Amino acid sequence: MMVSSFVIYVLSVINICYAATLRDTEPTCGYESCPAVKDDMINVHLVPHTHDDVGWLKTVDQYYYGARNNIQNAGVQYVLDSVIPELLNDPSKRFIYVEIAFFARWWREQDDSMRHIVKGLVNSGRLEFILGGWCMNDEASTHYNAIIDQHALGFEFLRQNFGECGRPRIGWQIDPFGHSREQASLFAQFGFDGLFFGRLDFEDKEERMKELTMEMLWHGSPNNLGEKSDLFTGVLFNGYSPPGGFCFDIFCQDEPIKDNKQLHDYNVDDRVKDFIKAVESQAIHYKTNHIIMTMGSDFQYQDAHHWYKNMDKLIKYTNMLQETNHSNINVLYSTPSCYLNQLNKAGIKWPTKSDDFFPYAHRNHSFWTGYFTSRAALKGYVRETNAFLQACKQLDAIAMLDEYFNTTYEIQVLKEAMGVAQHHDAVSGTEKQQVAYDYAERLSHGRASCQRVMNDAFMQLMPKLRDGFPGVTWCDLMNISACNHTEINKKFVMVVYNPLGHTVTRWMRLPVVADAYTVNGPQNEPIQTQIIPVDDRTKSIPERKGHMALYTLVFPVSVPPLGFSTYFISKIPSYANKKKMAKEIPRKITNSKEDKIVMKNEHMSLEFNKKTGTLTKLRNLGNGVDLDIQQDIVFYYGHPGNCSESDFQPSGAYIFRPNNTTPHVWQRSFPGDTIKGPLVQEIYTVFSEWVTQVTRLYEGEKYAEIEWTVGPIPIDDKYGKEVVARFNTTLASNKIFYTDANGREVLMRERNYRPTWKLNQTEPVAGNYYPVNSRIYIQDKEKNVQFTVMTDRSEGGASIYDGQIELMLHRRLLYDDCLGVAEPLNETGSDGKGLIVRGKMLILMDTIDNSAKMHRDLGLKTYMAPIPSFAKTDYKYSEYSQYYHTTWSGLTAPLPPNVHLLTLEQWKGPAVTPSTSQPYLIRLEHIYEKDEDPELSKPVTVSIQDMFVRFEIESIEELTLGANLLLSDLHRLKWQTTNTEYVTDNERAYKVEKLVSLPQTIQIELSPMEIRTFQVTLKGGQPTSNIDKFTVFS
Ligand SMILES: [Zn+2]
């Protein structure tokens, strides 16, 4: 396999220098390059490694250069500088490198001779890339689309620069704080052979050590994808640190090995004895005669010689005892993949696991469930920016922009910013404040960069007769009713882009200054509108300073798949304005005679208590099902403490620990203002000065929307607070609730229960929290009712009582939780008084059978919402429509409702056949699980040849999910388990179409939850670019 891949690579890569380098040294990487072991001994695989956080206490660039070492002495450039000579000097030495965000920074600074040397080390297996993502992503608050993208970004860097020897085979999630089953499934689909991680619940770990189940086969998608998502998974013994006493880094205080008997303090015998003790105490908890020791930690190996010199001696003197003392311990330099290979060769049966590793606690009262919500604004920004990146890549692809536009570079800026933001101290919210600002700034720069690409694309796609489309601008603060463009201009167009493969109808809410506007659609048809005054709460948000909008202009937009629609918006002149005013602004109704307020459309009805403005009843008018419900927003006081023991564990950036199991409820009540208009009804609920919400029911929608605004969280009482939205219903949910994993498959949760060990619950609230990336629901099987809450970002969620759902929205805390960040999670916002966060929840109530259809569809429309942009124009409609398309779709027809176009972008990729025209990457996904919906859960077939209006496909090849290998070349290791026979991969007959004689229709079949990845080239497409996107920075 190595040889054929090598040939393919040379054929497809244009960089002649690189090809020459590879010919010089025949690659011997991979399992073939692994060191020899001794079958009759305990083999100790020493894995020299460094764990380099892509931002945490310092920013990613501060870490790279070793700047601000007063915060943390860490400089990644020195790690790579110092490891390379050590590896060169001794062929037995090994090193793994993990985070490509750092490696790429270093690589771009190297000259040709250093690159040549490094390629040699990679080709001989001495330097091995493990994981290979842009970062080691968080698993609790990331979305699967961003996880796939950030890995594909790292993989592509490695593929372009190192070919097959640079292809990672092992997942290495040594530091993330809990592990998602979806992540395991994605890793398996990347073609990984195994996964190692460091953190799991301390009770789980104890049990596994006792039962020898630290290593297992994890079923990543037991109900849907089956074997192709199975992943061998190992729990590391020491987290990711060396055994106690054996840290040989310059920043460690452990004793070096002093082996000259002539000098003072000779300590070899003692040190070896201690080491053997460490080996034996680890080996008894693992099944084979191989163990892995992680020799490294955070930012270690800045002076690699310290480590290697002492490990050399450790290996020498320990192994010497094999001769002198009949010792059966054999120590060697190794890598995670070489260790895994030995486990595979052991030919034993492994236990299995089908749930996940959430939540994680390292001791009683210390559940790492706070970070599911920490930095809720950053979490929202990362999610929204994912959609922006997808739209940017799609527009670049459908407009077929070539290198003249420099779009490869522009898109790369946002790809890298998003890659960095997925790190386990980024979107997780566990970084210092200055680092959080840096992540947000990177995303903002990336978005600006992508806006240039999108404008270039619009300039290609818009004009009918001539170019000269004026370009559009975007508004990033629409969620707080702020947008310069819509505030300043009396007449403008709004171009809405829809990144989904389906026609989408959504509600627009534009910040405007006047109380009457006309809106016309793409065919000049008048669009019904509603004007709503901006409420005082919104006006008081400090980040809105300087914005003038007094009203929100509400109207529906409809946008074709992968396309745009244009809306023409004009302020009505003042004389007409006056006449219309009374009619256009609905009055706030607070004096209705009944003691309840009802909001109703054709599908649902909501009842509110008039005194408190809180929801009391939901009715599904389609099937007549009623649900008594109490919805409110309350808060827990964060537990204070000094961490000295578990009883004194405070709530912090990582940890959620309320000081009481009952949250604080406000006693005061405020009457709820309502707005009833032709398009939307709204009820404003005030829980306190700093906690408010608006519940909305739009015409024709089967869901209600709750927009919450929380903050500034007061801290004058010296208590941190954690704010949660609660839904108390009468459903008999019987301890069971359901949460999604990374926005995809749903896992069943049971209160105070773990599927694989007997839980001793010490935190009845925090210990029942799980990540909610997009949805949480409860069911009453007898009544056949499901109540679902969709979120617009990742949050922590739970069901603390039967029939109840709670979601943590925002948190502000005054104690550091002593897990390293050394800062309380105290976001202060632009005015220093406390950050205000605003977000949305969508609520659904239907029969169990009907619910998947609604939450799958809404999940897609929420995370890939249409993106509005604006342009000033003086043209009349007749002129504008003569020059420009007012609506356009990149697809010939909408995709079936259960199919999602997950990826569309220009992508060089690992094609077999050297391509003369620019290739594109396409991922198609079935968004339903098996048996979720009677119809939509069935397998579905789409024709890819007829899909895109501008594409005539010339060749198509199927790739692994990470897009770095032809699927037909994937051969994963096989494992035997205690409850099934051999697990095999590639059982499905993957269809890999070759270049010649493509049929007219290329049918792609998708099974439930399946994602298939294709690289296509187009007939008469533009020539392949010679520019390597990973060197454009240097
Ligand atoms: Zn880390």
Cβ atoms of residues 490 and 571 within 8 Å = yes
Ligand 1 centroid, distance to 176 Cα (angstroms): 7
Give the model's pLDDT for residue 25.
Answer: 53
Q: Is 482 left (phi over 0), alpha (psi -120 to 50) or beta?
A: beta
Give the model's pLDDT for residue 984.
Answer: 43
Ligand 1 centroid, distance to 67 Cα (angstroms): 18
- Give per-residue pLDDT as tens, 159-172: 999 999 999 999 99
The number of C-alpha atoms within 13 Å of 421 and in the hemisphere containing its C-beta is 33
From CA 967, how far away is CA 987, in angstroms rounded? 12
Residue 409 amino acid letter: Y
Write the CB contacts of 802 (distance below 8 Å, at least 6 apart in sequence): 731, 732, 733, 734, 735
Q: How far is CA 343 from CA 47, 98, 280, 350, 734, in A?
A: 15, 22, 18, 10, 41
- pTM of model > 0.75: yes
Residue 712's nearest CA partner among 561, 805, 831, 873 is 831
Residue 920's nearest CA partner among 893, 888, 952 is 952
From CA 948, how far away is CA 888, in angstroms rounded? 12
Q: Pairing state of beta strands 329-333 and 42-48?
A: parallel
Ligand 1 centroid, distance to 442 Cα (angstroms): 20
Ligand 1 centroid, distance to 199 Cα (angstroms): 11
Write the CB contacts of 29 (distance below 8 Å, at least 6 apart in sequence): 2, 122, 123, 124, 125, 128, 164, 165
Ligand 1 centroid, distance to 621 Cα (angstroms): 50
Q: What is the DSSP string of 479-504?
A: GGT--HHHHH-SEEEEEEEE-SSS-E
Cβ atoms of residues 219 and 747 within 8 Å = no
Concerning whether 626 is annotated as a catalytic residue, the answer is no
Residue 601's nearest CA partner among 699, 704, 706, 703 is 699
Is the omega angle on the peptide bond into residue 586 within 30 degrees of 0, that is, cis? no
From CA 43, how far away is CA 40, in angstroms rounded? 9
Cβ atoms of residues 158 and 168 within 8 Å = yes
Cβ atoms of residues 424 and 974 within 8 Å = no
Catalytic residue, chosen from 138, 149, 175, 816, is 175
The ranges of the chain with pLDDT < 70 are: 1-26, 466-467, 574-593, 669, 911-914, 980-1000, 1025-1034
From CA 258, how far away is CA 253, in angstroms rounded? 14
Q: How far is CA 287 from CA 164, 203, 233, 290, 611, in A?
A: 31, 20, 13, 8, 64
Phi, psi (deg, nearest 5) at residue 584: -75, -25
From CA 706, how far away is CA 776, in angstroms rounded? 15
From CA 937, how far away is CA 924, in angstroms rounded? 15
Residues in the chain: 1034
455 exposure class (CB count in 10 Å sphere: 0-12, 13-18, 19+) = buried
The number of C-alpha atoms within 13 Å of 674 and in the hemisphere containing its C-beta is 25
Ligand 1 centroid, distance to 192 Cα (angstroms): 21
Ligand 1 centroid, distance to 175 Cα (angstroms): 5
Ligand 1 centroid, distance to 286 Cα (angstroms): 25
Sign of the Cα pseudo-torsion (82, 87, 90, 95, in order):
positive
Give the model's pLDDT for residue 929.
Answer: 97
- Give per-residue pLDDT as tens, 570-628: 999 765 555 554 445 554 555 556 788 999 999 999 999 988 889 999 999 999 999 99
Q: How far is CA 236 from CA 52, 246, 402, 425, in A?
A: 18, 16, 47, 20
Ligand 1 centroid, distance to 53 Cα (angstroms): 5
3-class secondary-structure state, position 211: helix
Structure tokens at 817: 């939780």
- Give per-residue pLDDT as tens, 261-282: 999 999 999 999 999 999 999 9
